[in-house]
């Protein structure tokens, strides 16, 4: 079998390619990410690691169970049907393993207002931990129309925001055009509504 010479992006050493189709317990490179509150991420360039640098990385991770318990490669095929599709800045598209996506999703508590707002803009229902009313939350309302004083039906439209508003769903009903208070903006107790 022909071997491919690779150069380690960390130490610069040449090495024969290894673990190309091996399990994720035996990786041969890494990729750094910026992960957002929904576990979607921007991925940076691929980093090839020689066997020595990979070994050092795995020692650094110490808890190598972490790597060993990652799902098998075939999970990515299954995930093409789930909702956790990720499109990276460079046009590369990928899918998060569904079980990992859902686990992380449930862990999303203690979010800042900025993250909660970003999630709401992406169609996620969010609330503050202290909002105790049943199903009380905010969410993005779209396709809004209303009846004017003279009886015409108007579809809402605005140059900057289109046909959208934040709706507050509370114990008394739904209120369109919710505004955040100081406490809402500065609190770190925002969470996703399941
Ligand atoms: Zn190296």
Q: Are 113 and 99 in the same domain?
A: no
Q: What pLDDT does 78 receive?
A: 32
Q: Are 22 and 63 in the same domain?
A: yes
Residue 7 clears pLDDT 90, i.e. is over it: yes
Q: Are 92 and 37 in the same domain?
A: yes
Residue 135's closest CA among 106, 168, 113?
A: 168
Q: Are 74 and 17 in the same domain?
A: yes
CA of 48 to the centre of ligand 1 (A): 8
Classify strands 41-48 and 85-87 as parallel, antiparallel or unpaired.
unpaired
CA of 102 to the centre of ligand 1 (A): 35
Residue 94's closest CA among 102, 86, 105?
A: 86
Q: What pLDDT does 94 receive?
A: 55
Residue 83 clears pLDDT 50, i.e. is over it: no
Q: Are 115 and 66 in the same domain?
A: no
Q: What pLDDT does 102 receive?
A: 52
Total tally of structural domains belonging to the chain:
2
Exposed / middle / buried, residue 167 (Cβ in 10 Å: 0-12, 13-18, 19+): buried
Q: Are 9 and 97 in the same domain?
A: yes
- CA–CA separation, 76 vs 176, rounded Å? 40
Pick the last residue of a domain from 66, 87, 104. Answer: 104
What integer is the mean pLDDT of 38-62? 84
CA of 28 to the centre of ligand 1 (A): 10
Q: What is the pLDDT of residues 112-145, one digit of tens each?
A: 899 899 989 988 899 998 887 777 999 999 999 9
CA of 56 to the centre of ligand 1 (A): 9
Q: Mean pLDDT for the chain?
A: 78
Q: Specify the pTM.
A: 0.47
The domain in which residue 38 lies consists of: 5-104
Residue 178's closest CA among 186, 170, 187?
A: 170
Pick the last residue of a domain from 52, 79, 104. Answer: 104
How many beta carbons lie within 10 A of that of residue 78, not counting itself? 13
Residue 98 clears pLDDT 70, i.e. is over it: no
Q: Are 121 and 95 in the same domain?
A: no
Residue 97 clears pLDDT 70, i.e. is over it: no
Percentage above 90 pLDDT, the chain = 40
Residue 69 clears pLDDT 50, i.e. is over it: no
CA of 55 to the centre of ligand 1 (A): 9
Confidence tier at 8 by pLDDT (50, 70, 90): very high
CA 62 to chain centre: 26
Residue 89 clears pLDDT 60, i.e. is over it: no
Name the token pair of 167: 């709706």
CA of 119 to the centre of ligand 1 (A): 39
On the CB side of 17, CA atoms within 13 Å amount to 9
**In contact, 124 and 117? CB cutoff 8 Å:** no
């Amino acid at each position: 079998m022909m071997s491919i010479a690779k150069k380690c992006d960390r130490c610069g050493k040449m090495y024969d390619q290894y673990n190309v189709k091996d399990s994720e317990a035996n990786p041969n490179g890494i990729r750094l990410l910026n992960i957002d509150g929904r576990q979607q991420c921007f991925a940076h360039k691929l980093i090839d690691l020689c066997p020595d640098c990979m070994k050092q990385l795995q020692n650094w991770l110490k808890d190598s169970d972490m790597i060993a318990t990652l799902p098998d490669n075939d999970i990515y095929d299954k995930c093409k049907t789930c909702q956790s599709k990720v499109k990276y800045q460079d046009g590369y598209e990928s899918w998060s393993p569904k079980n990992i996506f859902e686990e992380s999703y449930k862990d999303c508590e203690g979010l800042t207002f900025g993250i909660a707002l970003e999630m709401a803009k992406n169609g996620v229902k969010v609330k503050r931990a202290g909002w105790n009313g049943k199903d009380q939350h905010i969410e993005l309302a779209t396709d809004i129309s209303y009846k004017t004083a003279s009886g015409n039906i108007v579809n809402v439209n605005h140059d900057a925001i289109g046909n959208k508003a934040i709706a507050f769903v509370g114990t008394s009903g739904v209120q369109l055009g919710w505004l955040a208070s100081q406490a809402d903006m500065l609190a770190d107790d925002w969470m996703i509504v399941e």
